[in-house]
Amino acid sequence: MKRIESEEEDDLRPEYDFSQMKGGVRGKYVERYRKGTNLVLLDPDIAVAFPDAKAVNDALRSLLQEKHSPQAR
């Protein structure tokens, strides 16, 4: 039977002394977290066509305009 180690191994470097940190604010981003997010992961072949978020948004707006505009027959 394997012995289960009860304490986690401390792999934090000694130079990271969090007791010396000042000015931390607990819950600073909690409101943003509660609002949620709408991140979407693009497939790699699609992501190649869009260099940044603006390009994605522009393409989606264009698609929505097409969808909502009266169609010529």
pLDDT at position 10 is 77
User: Is 60 exceeded by the pLDDT of residue 73?
Assistant: no
**CA distances (Å), origin 38, targets 25, 27, 53:** 25, 21, 13
pLDDT for 11-61, tens place per residue? Answer: 888 888 878 878 888 899 888 888 887 888 899 999 999 999 999 999 999
Name the DSSP class of 26. T
What pLDDT was estimated at residue 39? 81
Q: Which residue has the higher pLDDT, 4 or 63?
A: 63
pLDDT of the residue at 35: 87
